[in-house]
Amino acid sequence: MSADLHVHSTYSDGTESPETVVFHAKNAGLKTIALTDHDTVDGIPEALAAGKKMGLEVIPGVEFSTEAQKAEIHILGYFINCDDSNMLDLLKKVQNDRKDRICRICEKMIPLGVSLDPEKVFKKAGNEAPGRPHVARTMVEEGLVASFNEAFDRFLDFRSPAFVPHYKLEPQESIKMIKKAGGVPVFAHPNISGSDTLIEDFVKAGLRGIEAYYPHYYEGTVNKYLEFAKKYNLIVTGGSDYHGINSGREIKLGEFTIKDELVEKLKDEHLRGN
């Protein structure tokens, strides 16, 4: 059996409900998944209930969107207490900013010759954590671009003209919040953010793991983060970053997995920290 510790649903920018995600994971032969929606834990109860019904282990998680040194940095939290009031208050601030961000993105596209009503994006998202993928999918539906990738390349990517940064949440703040909520903080897809020089600072703030296994990582990249894990005594995790069918991301559940032993080490770390 195997696991996938990085999965999204319709409660953030995925295209499938938590129950559907669990169904596909079970059919793919997975033993364990972690639901790690962006800046929300609203989908956790549905995922846990579906997992119990279908016989699949579901780890409650979240993926915080943070920023440091002009880089977008994501921090995963595993085994979090989804009812922690302080964490929920912080997530609500981030979610409100996400909605404002969509409006600002739409405003920035007007002088670029693109008119997109943010209300259509909110309708497409249908949740409290709208993001750039919802903008891209709405642009495709409205005929403003030919594809999801074109929307990002021309308008939404970090260096594109309509990009708007996230709520100014520092990685260290999210790490400390995850720990206070009883969870295990893990640096998500570190190679994407290009912030290796900050890992030591994250460890000092309480980081306990690093996502060394991730789709399309070369062997050298994986080994680099395994060395970081060894250097700082971090647990190692991995996941597909699955966002669902027709999400604009070409990966299916079960195509990228990690060994069960890594899940057991994550569980051990959770027990040690609590």
pLDDT tens column, 163-207: 998 888 999 999 999 999 999 999 999 999 999 999 999 999 999
Mean pLDDT to the nearest integer, 82-106 = 96
- The answer to whether 60 and 48 are in contact (CB under 8 A) is yes
Task: List pLDDT tens digits, range 125-156.
Answer: 999 999 999 999 999 999 999 999 999 999 99
Q: Quick one: which of 67, 13, 59, 73 has its CA closest to 37?
A: 13
The one-letter amino acid code at 52 reads: K
> Cα dihedral sign for 158, 164, 166, 168?
positive
Supply the pLDDT for residue 248.
72
Task: Look at residue 160 and tell me whether its pLDDT is greater than 80.
Answer: yes
Report the 10 Å Cβ neighbour count for 161.
12
Check whether 236 has a pLDDT greater than 80. yes
CA atoms lying within 13 Å on the CB side of residue 234: 28
pTM of the model: 0.91
Per-residue confidence band for 229, with pLDDT thresholds at 50, 70 and 90: very high
- Please give the pLDDT value at position 70: 81
pLDDT band at 270 (very low <50, low <70, confident <90, very high): very high
66-80, 105-119, 222-236: least confident range? 66-80
Cα 76 from chain centroid? 7
Burial of 143 (0-12, 13-18, 19+ CB in 10 A): exposed
Query: Could you give the CA distance from residue 188 to residue 186 in angstroms, rounded to a whole number?
Result: 6
CATH of 2-82+183-273, one of 3.40.800.20, 3.90.110.10, 3.20.20.140, 3.40.50.300: 3.20.20.140
Q: Minimum mean pLDDT among 39-43, 220-224, 226-230, 246-250: which range?
A: 246-250
Q: Give residue 166's pLDDT.
A: 83
Break the chain into its structural domains and give their ranges. 2-82+183-273
Is residue 268 pLDDT above 70, yes or no?
yes
Higher pLDDT, 106 or 274: 106
Residue 273's pLDDT is what?
80
Query: What's the first-to-final CA gap in the chain, in angstroms?
Result: 27
Q: Say if residue 249's pLDDT is above 80.
A: no
The pLDDT score that the predictor gives to residue 112 is 97
Angle value at C-alpha 85, between 80 and 89, nearest 5 degrees: 105
Task: Report whether pLDDT(260) > 90.
Answer: yes
Is the pLDDT confidence value at 226 over 90?
A: yes
Q: What is the 3-state secondary structure (H, E, C) of the chain?
A: CEEEEEECCCCCCCCCCHHHHHHHHHHCCEEEEEECCECCCCCHHHHHHHHHHHCCEEEEEEEEEEEECCEEEEEEEECCCCCCHHHHHHHHHHHHHHHHHHHHHHHHHHHHCCCCCHHHHHHHHCCCCCCHHHHHHHHHHCCCCCCHHHHHHHHHCCCCCCCCCCCCCCHHHHHHHHHHCCCEEEECCHHHHCCHHHHHHHHHHCCCEEEEECCCCCHHHHHHHHHHHHHHCCEEEECCCECCCCCCCCCCCCCCCEEHHHHHHHHHHHHHHC
Q: What is the mean pLDDT of residues 31-58?
A: 98
**In Å, how far are 72, 84, 88, 209, 267 from 40, measured between CA atoms?**
17, 12, 8, 20, 22
Q: Is the pLDDT of residue 247 over 80?
A: no
Whether pLDDT at 1 is above 70: no
Mean pLDDT (whole number) for 254-273: 95
